[in-house]
Structure 1
Amino acid sequence: MDQTLRRADLDPPRLPSGVPVRLAAAAPALWRVIDRKGHVIGHLQAIAEGGGIRYRVRRFRASSRAFLELGEFWRIEEAIDCLRFAR
């Protein structure tokens, strides 16, 4: 069973150099992923699982007024790439 991390002092994940996005805190263990133009392209959520951290990514769909879950990843690079390229 996964467990969303709730620590308010959790630092944002370290993004690889050269990735054209930045993170902005939205809630404990939840960040908005923002592209170079300043558009929010989705959310990244840290989830404690099996002694490690998985990253869940979601994108808001205006047509349905709901978040669409795109997946969960062990590597931050894969989570960010999913948001960047699944537009």
Structure 2
Amino acid sequence: MRVDARGERLWRVSTPTFAVVGHVELLDTAAGEIFLAKRYSPTYARFVDHGRFWSLDDAVDCLRLGG
């Protein structure tokens, strides 16, 4: 997977051929900063929430391993 920063708080996750898999967004919460993983759904033509994680690596793994 490729992980490219799209700002200070957003990363695009794509395949080696640049097909977009999803995004990871850094959010502030009462419990601290979390990483929100969103996978692109061609069925719905939008990004779907796939979970909240304490690390960028875990959020990217969710997108890489999820289907």
Q: Provide the residue aligned with 2:26 in structure 1.
A: 46
Per-residue displacement from partner, 1:42-72 (whole Å, max 9, x unpaired)?
A: 0010001247321001112121122210000
What TM-score do the two structures reach when normalised by structure 2?
0.79
Unaligned stretches of 5+ in structure 2?
none
Aligned-residue RMSD, C-alpha: 1.9
Unaligned stretches of 5+ in structure 1?
1-19
1:5-84 equivalences in 2 (<5 Å): 20-25=1-6, 29-50=9-30, 52-84=32-64
Q: 1:68 to 1:46 in 2, by over 3 A?
A: same
Q: Which amino acid aligns with 2:3?
A: R
Q: Highest CA radius of gyration, 1 or 2?
A: 1
| Runs of 4+ more than 3 Å apart | none
Q: Matched residues, percent identical?
A: 28
